Amino acid sequence: MAAPTAGLHFTPELLERLKARGIGHRFVTLHVGAGTFLPVKSERIEDHRMHPEWGEVSQATAEALNAARAKGGRIVPVGTTSLRLLESATDAEGRLQAFSGETAIFITPGRAIRSADVLMTNFHLPESTLLMLVAAFSGMDAMRAAYAHALTESYRFYSYGDAGLWFREPAQ
């Protein structure tokens, strides 16, 4: 398993400051395995298979996130693994449902993201499933521009690197 490193940016003090501004938070559980971090070695992306991982989104969390969105709020997963789990728990209409079980979801460019509006995550390594998820979420142009900036400014990459706030690519 791996640590939820994107969430390390959130200290108890920061969570209190967010709460004071009316920004809530909810927790989900995903038992991340090494497969999440393995590079894609298939010639064709669609031939890559994710290792199944067990996760849970409680009924209370699904209801709270749906209610926040209904009031005009945004769902902002912290970390690509949180987004993967939320996508696994989202129905065809974009509503979150309670979820408990295995997921092997592989999010690549061209797949619509229904569960989240904004994503906070660290900068990920090339050829990783995590980088492909960010490209699917924000679009290739936004991802390339952000990564070029990160390289120019010597940002740190991977689990204990710098984080970015990614906005969902508008529907084409």
Q: For 53-88, what is each residue's pLDDT tens digit? A: 899 999 999 999 999 999 999 999 998 889 999 999
**Residue 36 confidence (pLDDT):** 67
d(CA 26, CA 140): 29
Are the C-beta atoms of 49 and 43 separated by less than 8 Å?
no
| Letter string b/e over residues 81-91, b meaning 16 or more CB atoms within 10 A of that residue's CB | bbbbbbbbbbe
Domains and CATH numbers, the chain: 5-167 (3.40.1780.10)
Closest C-alpha among 148, 104, 110 to residue 126: 148
Q: What is the pLDDT of residues 40-62, one digit of tens each?
A: 777 887 877 778 889 999 999 99
Q: Quick count: other Cβ atoms within 10 Å of Cβ 129?
A: 22
